[in-house]
Amino acid sequence: MKEGPHPYQEISLGTAGLILGIILVAVYGFMFFKADVSKKIAQKLPRNADLGTYFMGFGMVWFWLLVAPPDKGIFSALSMDLGEFNKVKTYLMIGVPLFCVGMIVYVREFLFVRGLGLCLLMASAPLLYASDFEDAPLQFLMPAVCYVMIIKGLYFVGMPYLFRDWVNWVTASDTRWRGLALGGLALGLVFMTLGLTAWRGY
């Protein structure tokens, strides 16, 4: 395997918090300030197979880069040591693209939700690495959010219809929608603030 720390281990808690905060503020800010438009978009997302193709493809490429061989230049930038499971990397390198193509071609139902779930699972890893063994103030917020992302990702991949049901429930009431948006926006601002202040240098 290549020498040196994995790129995930070089991500600082401050940087991770700032990036996560910006994403949350952008998404939930749009939901709050453009409620009517965003609700219509959300209602169409579960069955948006075209957008799902991009999410699924992006998530699968991300996963493939983690199991790529260590001697392929830029393609090995994210290659991760899987310990005793390194021997199955070859099978994963072949199986992952086949699985991705199979999902995109033959499982179009709720493809967006499955792709979103996969991306949530992939994104949680670098965020967890950033907060690992850090003793920063309110550090627990990062792994807490990551575990929520992992649970959601597993449900979205395995039971994508739950995302549809949740969207139908939350969009049925303006109060629910604005409450969700306001909560997410507030959380994003907290992460942005921590990333720029208390988590700097960690």
Per-residue model confidence as pLDDT tens digits over 46-55: 999 999 999 9
The pLDDT confidence band at residue 4, using thresholds 50, 70 and 90, is low
Per-residue model confidence as pLDDT tens digits over 158-178: 999 999 999 999 999 999 999
- Return the HEC string of 127-196: HHHHHCCCCCCCCCHHHHHHHHHHHHHHHHHHCCHHHHHHHHHHHCCHHHHHHHHHHHHHHHHHHHHHHH
Residue 199 to residue 12: CA distance in whole angstroms: 8
Per-residue model confidence as pLDDT tens digits over 66-75: 988 777 778 7
The ranges assigned to domains in the chain are 7-196
Q: Is 85 exposed, middle or buried (0-12, 13-18, 19+ CB in 10 A)?
A: exposed
Q: Which residue has the higher pLDDT, 86 or 63?
A: 63
Residue 128 to residue 174: CA distance in whole angstroms: 34
Per-residue model confidence as pLDDT tens digits over 179-195: 999 999 999 999 999 99
pLDDT of residue 84: 79
The overall longest dimension of the chain from CA atoms, in Å, is: 53
Residue 23 to residue 185: CA distance in whole angstroms: 10
pLDDT at 1 over 50: no
Q: Which residue has the higher pLDDT, 142 or 99?
A: 142
Average pLDDT over residues 133-146: 91
DSSP per residue, 101-132: HHHHHH--TTHHHHHHHHHHHHHHHHHHHHHT
pLDDT of residue 3: 61
Average pLDDT over residues 15-32: 97
The pLDDT confidence band at residue 107, using thresholds 50, 70 and 90, is confident
Q: Which residue has the higher pLDDT, 74 or 145?
A: 145
Residue 27 to residue 149: CA distance in whole angstroms: 15
Amino acid at 97: P
What average pLDDT does the chain have?
A: 92
Instruction: Record the pTM.
Output: 0.90
Amino acid at 148: V
